[in-house]
Amino acid sequence: GDSVTQMEGPVTLSEEAFLTINCTYTATGYPSLFWYVQYPGEGLQLLLKATKADDKGSNKGFEATYRKETTSFHLEKGSVQVSDSAVYFCALNDYKLSFGAGTTVTVRA
Amino acid sequence: EAGVAQSPRYKIIEKRQSVAFWCNPISGHATLYWYQQILGQGPKLLIQFQNNGVVDDSQLPKDRFSAERLKGVDSTLKIQPAKLEDSAVYLCASSPDRGGNTEAFFGQGTRLTVV
């Protein structure tokens, strides 16, 4: 079945550092890909999405490109802030929304 | 626009007891999901409804878990009897349709502790 694998955490960074969280997927169809974020004490919310190959999703300085040839959807941000500390989940939707295990990111001032 | 509402927010029960969670999705959303999120793991889909029909319940432990969505709106998830390993956050989400490119909107979740 469809599945998502994302890099294990936790990840600890200093402010203004570059962040990459790797995500790869397995799917039989043509899924849409998502990054969700869970800030401390809050619910899951959509960060960005891409619905077809070569699409780039972006939001709040984060970007991810849907790469069909490498079945990947890596999340990147050029300069992180303390407020980016959260748990990040990669997900795919091929009529069933499936999540990766999550990556905890802590940004230190 | 009101979000997905869940209740209760927290619940503590003893093993072998029963418990029920309630979810009110965003108005007009056809698809409703229940997920189980164990601490340190990603959400695991338990059941997906399209209107009031079940689309996927392949990971629902049917010997103890049940769910229904009356009139294609509100939904309840029940556990009977509960086991220690059921301790988790139960998330409800909804989306406008079943299409793969639509995002799901999540409630705050119900944190269940089984002692």
The tens digit of pLDDT for each residue in B11-43 reads 999 999 999 999 999 999 999 999 999 998 999
The reply to whether residue B109 touches residue A100, judged by beta carbons under 8 angstroms, is: no
The predicted-structure confidence for B47-103, as pLDDT tens digits, reads as follows 999 988 999 999 999 999 999 998 889 999 999 999 999 999 999 999 987 666 688
Q: Which residues of A touch B111 (CB under 8 A)?
A: none
Please answer whether residues A38 and A46 qualify as being in contact, where contact means their C-beta atoms are separated by less than 8 angstroms: no
The reply to whether residue B41 touches residue A94, judged by beta carbons under 8 angstroms, is: no
pLDDT of residue B44: 96
Out of A31, A89, A99, name the one closest to residue B100 (CB). Answer: A31
Residue of A nearest to B48 (CA): A96
Estimate to the nearest angstrom the gap between the alpha carbon of B31 and the chain centroid.
Answer: 12
Residue B1 has pLDDT above 70, yes or no: no
Distance from CA of A40 to the nearest CA of B (A): 12
Q: Which residues of B touch A30 (CB under 8 A)?
A: 100
